[in-house]
Chains A and B, each alone.
Chain A
Amino acid sequence: MNIQEMILILQKHWSDQNCILMQAYDVEKGAGTMSPMTLLRSLGPEPWNVAYVEPSRRPADGRYGQNPNRLYQHHQFQVIMKPSPDNIQELYLDSLKKLGIDPLEHDIRFVEDNWENPTLGAAGLGWEVWLDGMEITQFTYFQQIGGLEANPVAVEITYGIERLASYIQDKENVFELEWTNGVSVGDIFYQPEFEHSTYTFKESDTDMLFELFNIYEKEAKRIMESGLVFPAYDYVLKCSHTFNLLDAKGVISVTERTGYIARVRNLAREIAKLYVEERERLGFPMLKGEKNND
C-alpha cells in the first residue's frame, strides 16, 4: 500500500465518522497540533471533528536527506474529535485494520505517554500506540490548551505517516517509501530535504531571522488588540517557525531559549483566551446543531 492510498483510506475512515476533511494549513509549523484547526478549535464548548494531513517542519531534524529515519519535514495525519467519543480507541483500531494491520498478526499496545508543549501552554494525557514495539501514533486527551482548561475534552490522534508506511511497505529507508505508483518519497522530497537542511544549518541569515521574529511578534500583538484572532495566530506560527530555524542553527543559547519559548507561549495564551472570547461574542455558532438535537 503506498502513502497516497494510506491517506485516502484514513480520510475515508474519519470522514465516515463525521470528521470535516480539512487541507493542510498554509503556514509553516512543527506539528499538526499547531494548525488553528486543532489548537484554536479544540478550545471552548463547540463540538469539532476534523481530519487532515499536515506537513510538519522540524528544522533541527534536517539531515540533508542522508539519515534513513529523520526528516526536516515529515507528514502527520491528524484527527481531532471534541468531545472525545466513548469508542475512540475502537475507531482508531478500525482505521489500522483498514490500513491492512490485522491486530491478530501483530502486537498493538497503548503505552502511557503524557504530551506537553510548553510553547503552546498545552498538555494532555494519553498514550503512544506501539505496533510491534514501534511508536506509530500519538493519542492524547487534551487537558489544557493555551493555558486554558479544555472543556469538553478533545481527543487528538496523530499518525506518523512515514513511520506507519515504513512498516506497511517494509522499508528501512524513508526515501525508498512509495508515495504513489512509481514515485518514491525520495523522488519528491530528497531535493527539498537537502536544500532545507543546507539553508537551516548553513545559509540562513541569522540577523534577518532574529529581526523577523521580532517583527512577527510585534505584528501578532498589534492585531490581537483589534481582536483579529486568526491573523494574529498566523504570526504566532511564523514566530514559532522562525525560532525553530534559529534554534536548529544553534545561535540561541540555552538561557535565551527559555526566554524565546516564553514569548511564544505568552502570545499563544493570549490568543487562546481571545479566541474563546470571540466565539462567545458570536454566540458559539457551532453549538446550534447540538441544541437542535436536544
Chain B
Amino acid sequence: MTKSHVLFEVGLEEMPARFLNDVEQQLEKNTKEWLSSLRLTYTKLNTYITPRRFAVTIENIAEKQPDIEEEAKGPAEKIALNEDGSWSKAAIGFSKGQGKTVDDIYFKEVKGTNYVFVKKFIEGQSTDELLVDFKKIILGIQFPKNMRWSNQTLRYIRPIKWLVAMKNTQVIPFEIVGVKTSNISYGHRFLSGEIRIDDSKMYVEKLREAHVIASAEERQEMITDQIEQLEKEKGWKVKVERGLLNEVTHLVEFPTASYGTFDEKFLDIPSEVLITSMQEHQRYFPVESLSGGLLPFFVFVRNGDDHAIKNVAKGNEKVLRARLADAQFFYDEDQKQEIETNVTKLNKTVFQEKLGTIGDKTERVKKITRLIAERLELTPQKIMQAERAASIYKFDLVTNMVNEFTELQGIMGEKYALIHGEDPAVAKAIVEHYLPRHANDNLPESTLGAIISVADKLDTIVGCFAIGLIPSGSQDPYALRRQALGVLEIVKEYDWDFSLENLLIEVKEILIEQGIELTNKEAVVQDLVSFFKARTAYILKELGVSTDLTEALISSELGNISFMVEKAQILRKRRTEEAFKEKQEAFVRVLNIAKKNESPSNIDNTLFENKEEEQLYNKWTEIKPKYYNQLENLQASEALNTLSELTNSIHEFFEDTMVMTENNAIRLNRLNLLTEIAKGINAFADLTKVQWKQQK
C-alpha cells in the first residue's frame, strides 16, 4: 500500500519578518509532539515559511494509530466478590463500565492485594479522523504580538486568508474564523494568483511554479548565491550582515538580488552613517571594494523576478538619495555646533523624570569619575582627560545625526569630538562608554572608556534604586541587570581592587547632594549590594565556580571578582584534602557559635577566665594585622595559611571552655571574641556554606 502524504498550509496577510524563524520552529516542534502524542508514525516532517504562509508536510504517515491492549484495574477482590463468591455490584459495574462482562475479569496482585482487572482492546483511530485536529496546532502557535481584524474575536499574528489541508489528494475538512480548508492556495502576490494543489506531494513544486520559494533556507541560499554572482561580476565585496540577510529572506517569497548606485560625494559622510542608512532603514547590503572601503553601490533584494529590475533599482536609488541628502545635511549642520552648545542643550533633555536632565546626570557622572580616578591613582594628565570626557560624554545625543540615527550614539560623539580637536583619548571614551552593550559584547579598550562606562552605569543603577525603580522578575526597563553586569565585568577585566560597596555609598551621597529625592533612602545601599552580589554570583557561575562556593564567597563584602575566583580555586582544592579537615572544622565551629551572638560588642580581656581563651585572643591579635594585610593585597593562599595558624588555639579553646556559661558577662565576652574571629573568617569566605568533600 502506498503511504500517505499530508500537507497543511496557513495563508496570511504579510507577517512581520522578525517573527518567522520562531514561528517555523514552533510549527515543527508542536506538530512533532502532536503526532507523537497521537502515536502516528511517519518518515519525515518538513516545515516551510514565507511572509504570506507557513506550512508543514508529513511524509509517509501511517493510515491509523496502532491498536493497543490495555489493562483496566477495578476494585479489590474482597469488594468484587460477595460473601458467597458471586460477583458484587461493584465488579459488575466495573466490567460494564469498561464495555466488558464479568467473564472477562481476572485477578492480579498489586502491592499485596488482589484486584480485579479486564483487558481492554483499543482500536487505533484512523489518521483521517485525527488530522482535523491540526486546527489546534494552528491556533496554538504563540506570537509576540497579536491582532484582531474585521468582526473576528480571534487574536492572531495577521488575518488568516486561506487554509490548505490535504491528505494525498483529499481535503481534510475544518475551518478557522470562517475560513474553510481546501486545496486552493495562492502563489506570488503579483507574479501568480490562485493555484490548485492536486496532490499534497506536489506542494513545493506547485508553489515554485507560482513564483514562491516555500523553504526559507532555499531562499536564503538563492540570495547568497545571487550576491556572490554580483561580487564576481563586479569585483565587489558585499557586506552581508547575518541579521539583515535573515530579515530580507523573510521579506520576500521569490528573491532577486540586484544593485543600485549613489553619488560618490556621499562617501564623505562617515561610513557608519551610510551603512546604517542602507542596512537599517532600507534593508540594502552595502558594497565594499576588495581592498575594503565603501563603494557608491548597494545591493537590494526584490520580492519578484528580474522583470523591469532597472526600474526598481531607479526607485530605490531615489529613496536612498533623499536619505543620504538628509544625512549629509545633518553631518554638515552638526559640525557647525560647538560641543559646549550641545552640552548646554543637555540641560533641557530629560534623563528620567525624578533623576533630572542629562545635564544633571553629566554633573553626577563627573563626580563619580573623579572618585574612580582617585582610587586608581591616575596621573594628573589622565585625570584631566577623564574629567573632560565625563563633562561632554553625552553631547552627541542632541545632534541631528543621533536624533535621526539613534544607533549611532557614541560613534558620532567620537567623530564630532575629533573634528572639534578634542584629545583622541577623550573622543574614544565617548564611544566606549556604551560598552558592553549586551552579554559577551566587547569591553572598553581604554582605561578612560572603562572609567566613564562604569561611572555612567553606576549613576543610572544607584539613581534608579534610589527612586524605587528596582528590577523585579521580567521588569527591568532600564536594563539595570545588564548594566550591573557590565560594571562587574569591567572591574574584573581591569582588576580594579577598590571597594565597590564604598563607591555605591558615595554615589548615593552625590545624588542626595544634587537634591534628588530618595524614596528608598534607608535600604538603598543594602538593596544595591545584594543586587550586585546576585550579578557577581552569575559571573562566578559563568566562570565555572560551583553554587556552594559562590554562596560562600559572596557572603562577604562585594568583592573583587578575580580574587573571588582565586579563593574559589583554593577552596575547591582544600575541600577534598584530608589535612584541611581539622582546620575547616575549627573555622566552621567558630562561625556557627558566633551566629548566636545577638549583640556583638568589644572584647574585654579582663573577663578571660582560663588560659585557652586568653591564648586564642593573643594568637588572633598576633595574626590579625598580617591576615587582613594579605587579604588586601589579594594574596588568597597566604591569607588562608595565616588564618590556619589559629587552628590549634580554636580546638583547645572549645575543649576547655564552656561558651554558653551561666555568667552573662563572661558568656557575652566569649561570644564577642568568637564573633571577631568569625568576621575575619567571613572576610575570606563563609565556610559554613561550603560542601566539604573529604573522605569520612
Contact = CB atoms under 8 A, between A and B. Distances in A.
B312 A107 contact: yes
A134 B190 contact: no
Contacts of A143: 147-148
A255 B191 contact: no
Interface stretch (A124-132, A205-213, A216-224, A270-278): A124-132
B318 interface: yes
Given A109-B251, A153-B150, A255-B353, A103 B348 contact: no
Nearest to B16: A112
Contacts of B349: 254
Nearest to A82: B150
Interface in B234-277: 251-252
A254 B348 contact: yes
Interface string B655-693: 000000000000000000000000000000000000000
Interface string A196-234: 000000000000000000000000000000000000000
6 contacts: A103-B189, A103-B190, A107-B312, A125-B145, A134-B319, A167-B315
A52 to B, nearest CB: 22
A132 B145 contact: no
Contact of B190 (A104, A125, A153): A104
Interface of A: 68-69, 83-86, 89, 93, 103-112, 114, 125, 127, 131-134, 141, 143, 150-153, 155, 167, 172, 253-255, 258
Given A133-B282, A134-B319, A86 B190 contact: no
Nearest to A258: B353
B326 A104 contact: no
Interface string B281-300: 01110000000000000001
Nearest to B191: A104
A108 B190 contact: yes
B66 interface: no
B interface bracket (residues with beta carbon within 8 Å of A): 35 or more
A153 B153 CA distance: 10
Q: Chain A: interface secondary structure?
A: mixed
A106 B326 contact: no
Nearest to B161: A86
Contact of B316 (A111, A132, A151): A132
Interface stretch (B114-122, B303-311, B594-602): B303-311
A58 to B, nearest CB: 16
Contacts of B251: 109, 111
A153 B149 contact: yes
A106 B145 contact: no
A141 B315 contact: no
Interface of B: 13-18, 51, 145, 147-152, 158-159, 161, 189-191, 251-252, 282-284, 300, 302-304, 307-308, 311-312, 314-316, 318-322, 325-326, 348-350, 353, 357
B311 A84 contact: no
A112 B20 CA distance: 12
Nearest to A111: B251
Contacts of B190: 103-104, 108
A103 B311 CA distance: 11
Nearest to A90: B189
Given A104-B191, A254-B348, A112 B18 contact: yes
Nearest 3 A-B pairs (CB), nearest first?
A132-B315, A112-B16, A254-B350
Contacts of B311: 105-106, 132
B383 to A, nearest CB: 32
A134 B317 CA distance: 10
A217 to B, nearest CB: 22
A114 B145 CA distance: 10
Contacts of A69: 322, 326
Nearest to B157: A125
Contacts of B315: 106-107, 131-134, 167
